[in-house]
Amino acid sequence: MPTSKRTEPSPSSPASTFATALLGEFVRSGVTDVVLSPGSRSQSLALAAAQFERAGLLRLRLRIDERSAGFLALGLAAEAGRPVLLVVTSGTAVAELHPAVLEAAHSGVPLIVLSADRPAELRGIGSNQTTVQQGIFGDAPEKSWDVPAAVGDPGEEQAARELVAEVLTGINGVRHVNLAFREPLSSPQLLPDIEPGEWRVAEAPLEVLELRPGPGTVVVAGTGAGTEAESAARALGAPLLAEVSSGARFGPNLVAAYREVMTAGNFGDRVERVVVFGHPTLSREVPALIQRDGVETIVVRGSGRETYNPGHRVTRFADAVSIADDPAALDASRGWVGRWVMTSRAILEGLDDAAPGAALTDDHRERAAFALTQLEALRAPVTRRSLALAAWNASWPHDRLVLASSRLIRELDRVAPGKKIPVHANRGLAGIDGTIATGIGIALAQQLGGGTADARGITRVLLGDLAMLHDAGSLAFGVGEERPNIQLIVGNDGGGTIFDGLEVAGTADAALLDRVLLTPQRVDLQALAAAYGWEYRKVANRGQLDPALTPTPGQVLIEVPLER
Ligand SMILES: Cc1ncc(C[n+]2csc(CCOP(=O)(O)OP(=O)(O)O)c2C)c(N)n1
Ligand SMILES: [Mg+2]
């Protein structure tokens, strides 16, 4: 075998000088994480990043598939609340980032893409691995730069530092920096002396709207709403219609069965004012309510690319709301909130067919009958509802729950009781892609530093089988890559059964529907887990469900067969 031959020491490379200055300035500005995929044109950035990692100044993660890298960075940034750098080479490598770039743009997660490109003289002439990278993500990035190749002029390091300042100023989504590199593409560099900085969010001037409490108001919390929506609901004396992905599904004002209460109870008819936090995507009832005549809607802007405005019927937008202190008005709304909350509780209790109390009786026949029922319940097949609730119930504030786009998040949204736990979902565009990589990013940021690090926590990802297969490549960890404690809980119904719930299922030919929408699959998930070095657990009945969700160290794929 030929041994790899080291060429003559290359002349000092302006590419490396520039790349080192650039990354050094990111470190100084409080950026801590880089996700990188290998390539030649990007070598100066990659080698500099590895040196900063070695010096303990950056955390570096490698992924061979840029699509995985993109979603991994998205998860890291979403959990840590700090921008994450993505470094990729030229050509299709850049395009692989597009799904994560779109999701980040629509959900307002800060990502910085550093794509390597050919210099001007090699563009547009059919050079290898060269396409038009400037503007490749359309209008998804908040800002883009096309930076000419460094040539070794004095002042280029200063220019790199100024570029970093520009890139970070006011970042609220994706920033794309396309960087041309000319040969020699790298040379060994000494790291400059650098003090890592603290990440600081620039305080943008806020438009704060003052609201008064009073009956007739509801608060809607969609994905990304956070705990602020819950406190606003309490201060307003308003029922809290909080989606399960909102991070606000808790508290005394929670209306967990909000969809049923709005429709069956006709409560929606009495709503006069809606205050929206986050991005609601899980019901039809909420957008219908906002579009009803006589309803005033206030939307608290999130950080995503677009502002929520169903039917263009939103009355007012604000960056934040403050709530007037008015005890009399708050008092007047007690009955209003109470009716919503009680009706929701009654609906949820009606769903629960267990007969509590029988276990406590003194009658031994009754007790035996109860025990038998319990035993049968343990042997029963797992339903979507029991699966989703088990994942919800198993999770605590030091854990993370990641909800994929599938029937399971919708089922959970109907029944999850109030609980203050951190939930994450890629609802910016609700893709079934990148779920595993996003979950790994969240878990890494949460458990190994970079976020609200808490080593006790585990991340549970609740996903469907198609979402699982879509992102199977993200199960791969390279040698030496950090691995978090994570459970992938796969509800396997052999295809995309979410479509069974759509109108089309009632009108289309069943076989055609299966062929093109359900897309049945029978992949061996156990073998897949084994191939990637993940532990595998199978849940054959309800009795096995809770034990399988017990947190253990490592990466676990939990397969739960579900009936279509
Ligand atoms: C990238 C992407 N492709 C296609 C879709 C459309 N889509 C939404 S749900 C779904 C099926 C999901 O199937 P599965 O993950 O098994 O979940 P289930 O609905 O069966 O619970 C598809 C294909 C999407 N949201 N994102
Ligand atoms: Mg499925």
Q: How far apart are CA 302 and CA 276, in angstroms?
A: 10
Stretch 493-513: mean pLDDT? 95
Q: How far is the CA of 281 from the centre of ligand 1 (A)?
A: 15
Q: How far is the CA of 402 from the centre of ligand 1 (A)?
A: 15
Per-residue b/e over 65-85, b at no fewer than 16 CB within 10 Å? bbbbbbbbbbbbbbbbebbbb
Please classify residue 345 by burial: count the beta carbons closer than 10 Å to its beta carbon, then call 0-12 exposed, 13-18 middle and 19+ buried.
Answer: middle
Q: Which of 106, 432, 515, 523 gets mutated to test ligand 1 (max ligand atoms within 8 A of its CB)?
A: 432
Long-range Cβ contact pairs of 536-542 (< 8 A, separation 24 or more): 539/382, 541/378, 541/379, 541/380, 541/381, 541/382, 542/377, 542/378, 542/379, 542/380, 542/381, 542/382, 542/386
Query: 281 CB under 6 A from ligand 1?
Result: no
Query: 467 CB under 6 A from ligand 1?
Result: yes
The confidence score (pLDDT) of residue 205 equals 60
User: Looking at the predicted structure, is the pLDDT value of residue 280 above 60?
Assistant: yes
Q: How far is the CA of 178 from the centre of ligand 2 (A)?
A: 38
Q: Which of 71, 103, 406 gets mutated to test ligand 1 (max ligand atoms within 8 A of its CB)?
A: 406
Tokens of 200: 């600081």
**For residue 342, what are the contacts with CB-CB under 8 A and spacing of at least 6?**
none
Q: Parallel, antiparallel, or unpaired: how do β-strands 111-117 and 143-147 relate? A: unpaired
Q: Parallel, antiparallel, or unpaired: how do β-strands 59-62 and 111-117 relate? A: unpaired
Query: 498 CB under 6 A from ligand 1?
Result: yes
Query: Which ligand is in closest contact with the Cα of 384?
Result: 1
Which residue's CA is the closest to the ligand 1 atom numbered 24? 431
Q: How far is the CA of 348 from the centre of ligand 2 (A)?
A: 25
pLDDT, tens only, 68-93: 999 999 999 999 999 999 999 999 99
- pLDDT interval class at 467 (50, 70, 90): very high
The confidence score (pLDDT) of residue 297 equals 98
pLDDT, tens only, 113-126: 999 999 999 999 99
pLDDT, tens only, 478-490: 999 999 999 999 9
User: Looking at the predicted structure, is the pLDDT value of residue 301 above 60?
Assistant: yes
Query: 493 CB under 6 A from ligand 1?
Result: yes
The confidence score (pLDDT) of residue 352 equals 64
Q: How far is the CA of 68 from the centre of ligand 2 (A)?
A: 21
Residue type, 85: L
**For residue 134, what are the contacts with CB-CB under 8 A and spacing of at least 6?**
117, 144, 146, 178
Contact 427, 404 (CB under 8 A): no
- pLDDT interval class at 354 (50, 70, 90): very low
Nearest ligand 1 atom to alpha carbon 467: 15
Q: How far is the CA of 83 from the centre of ligand 1 (A)?
A: 28
Residue type, 59: R
- Give, in order, the Cα–Cα distances in Å from 436 to each of 85, 307, 521: 19, 27, 19
pLDDT, tens only, 262-273: 988 778 789 999
Stretch 299-317: mean pLDDT? 94
Task: Using alpha carbons only, give the angle 421, 335, 249 rounded to the nearest 5 degrees.
Answer: 10
Q: How far is the CA of 385 from the centre of ligand 2 (A)?
A: 14
Q: How far is the CA of 517 from the centre of ligand 1 (A)?
A: 9
User: What are the beta bridge partners of residue 386?
Assistant: none
Percent of the chain with pLDDT over 70: 95
The confidence score (pLDDT) of residue 389 equals 97
Q: Which of 411, 466, 493, 560 gets mutated to test ligand 1 (max ligand atoms within 8 A of its CB)?
A: 466
Q: Which of 96, 382, 405 gets mutated to test ligand 1 (max ligand atoms within 8 A of its CB)?
A: 405
The confidence score (pLDDT) of residue 362 equals 73
Query: 428 CB under 6 A from ligand 1?
Result: no
- pLDDT interval class at 313 (50, 70, 90): very high
pLDDT, tens only, 377-422: 899 999 999 999 999 999 999 999 999 999 999 999 999 999 999 9
Mean pLDDT of the chain: 93
This prediction has a pTM of: 0.95
- Give, in order, the Cα–Cα distances in Å from 559 to each of 272, 473, 528: 45, 17, 11
Q: DSSP code of 518?
A: I
Query: 407 CB under 6 A from ligand 1?
Result: yes
Query: 406 CB under 6 A from ligand 1?
Result: yes
Q: DSSP code of 282?
A: S
Contact 88, 42 (CB under 8 A): yes
User: What are the beta bridge partners of residue 460?
Assistant: 401, 487
pLDDT, tens only, 444-463: 999 975 455 566 799 999 99
Q: Provide the strand spans (E) within 319-395.
A: 320-323
User: Looking at the predicted structure, is the pLDDT value of residue 40 above 80?
Assistant: yes
The confidence score (pLDDT) of residue 1 equals 46
Query: 174 CB under 6 A from ligand 1?
Result: no
pLDDT, tens only, 205-250: 689 999 999 899 999 999 999 999 999 999 999 999 999 999 999 9
Contact 67, 100 (CB under 8 A): yes
Contact 301, 225 (CB under 8 A): no
The confidence score (pLDDT) of residue 121 equals 94
Tokens of 38: 């290998």
Q: How far is the CA of 48 from the centre of ligand 1 (A)?
A: 39
Q: Which of 383, 498, 518, 522 gets mutated to test ligand 1 (max ligand atoms within 8 A of its CB)?
A: 498
* Range scoring the smallest mean pLDDT among 363-372, 403-412, 437-446, 485-494: 363-372
Nearest ligand 1 atom to alpha carbon 430: 25
Q: How far apart are CA 71 and CA 60, in angstroms?
A: 15
The confidence score (pLDDT) of residue 444 equals 96
Nearest ligand 1 atom to alpha carbon 497: 20
Query: 431 CB under 6 A from ligand 1?
Result: yes
Query: 462 CB under 6 A from ligand 1?
Result: no
pLDDT, tens only, 48-64: 999 999 999 999 999 99
DSSP one-letter string for 427-443: -SS--SSSHHHHHHHHH
User: Looking at the predicted structure, is the pLDDT value of residue 3 above 80?
Assistant: no
Query: 433 CB under 6 A from ligand 1?
Result: yes
User: Looking at the predicted structure, is the pLDDT value of residue 132 above 80?
Assistant: yes
Contact 184, 11 (CB under 8 A): yes
Query: 496 CB under 6 A from ligand 1?
Result: yes
Please classify residue 175 by burial: count the beta carbons closer than 10 Å to its beta carbon, then call 0-12 exposed, 13-18 middle and 19+ buried.
Answer: buried
Which residue's CA is the closest to the ligand 1 atom numbered 10? 496
Spell out which residues have Cβ within 5 A of ligand 2, the ion.
Answer: 464-465, 493
Query: Which ligand is in closest contact with the Cα of 436?
Result: 1
User: Looking at the predicted structure, is the pLDDT value of residue 356 above 50?
Assistant: no
DSSP one-letter string for 81-92: TS-EEEEE-STH
Query: Which ligand is in closest contact with the Cα of 426?
Result: 1
**For residue 91, what are the contacts with CB-CB under 8 A and spacing of at least 6?**
129, 130, 131
